[in-house]
Amino acid sequence: MTTAAKKAPAAKASKTASSKKAPAKTSPAKKVVSEVEQAIEYQIGIRELRQDASRVIALVEQGASITITKHGKPVATINPPKKSKWDILVERDAITPAKKKIDVRTWKPTGKYDGPDLTAIFLKERAEARH
């Protein structure tokens, strides 16, 4: 992902443009990154980060981890944010988020509860446990 590596294929393509059709360029945001590419940690220099910040952010959005180097030495890493446990469970369909928000302060039960009085049962068991 260095600037030199990025420019070399473009110069090669321009030399062979007369005999072959040059491949169409796609923007990095539209490029689909495979799982292998997501596991690769990219290294770029500060100058390249400054010049192509939107491309770097697009890679990070797709799951890549980017190491920023200064004179060939790593100085920082840009990682995608970790998904919360809630988001992971929703993706797995283990839980279903509520369709509408409930305001607890104004909520009222919709029907009569036909079950036993749980408070009375609890208080009775509690009194029996003391003796």
| 24 has a pLDDT exceeding 60 | no
- Give bridge partners of residue 125 from the DSSP assignment: none
Cβ proximity of 80 and 65 under 8 Å: yes
In a domain, 9, yes or no: no
CATH number at 35 reads 3.40.1620.10
pLDDT attached to residue 11:
35
Gyration radius of the chain's alpha carbons: 29
In a domain, 49, yes or no: yes
| 9 has a pLDDT exceeding 80 | no
pLDDT > 90: percent of the chain: 33
| 130 has a pLDDT exceeding 80 | no
If one compares 94 and 26, the residue with the highest pLDDT of the two is: 94
CA angle, corner 69, sides to 64 and 73, nearest 5?
125
**What is the total count of domains within the chain?**
1
pLDDT attached to residue 111:
78
Q: Please give the model's pTM, rounded to 2 decimal places.
A: 0.41
In a domain, 57, yes or no: yes
Query: Which residues span the domain enclosing 99?
Result: 26-122
CB burial of residue 102 (10 Å; 0-12, 13-18, 19+) = exposed
pLDDT attached to residue 112:
79
Q: How far apart are CA 52 and CA 78, in angstroms?
A: 14
In a domain, 18, yes or no: no
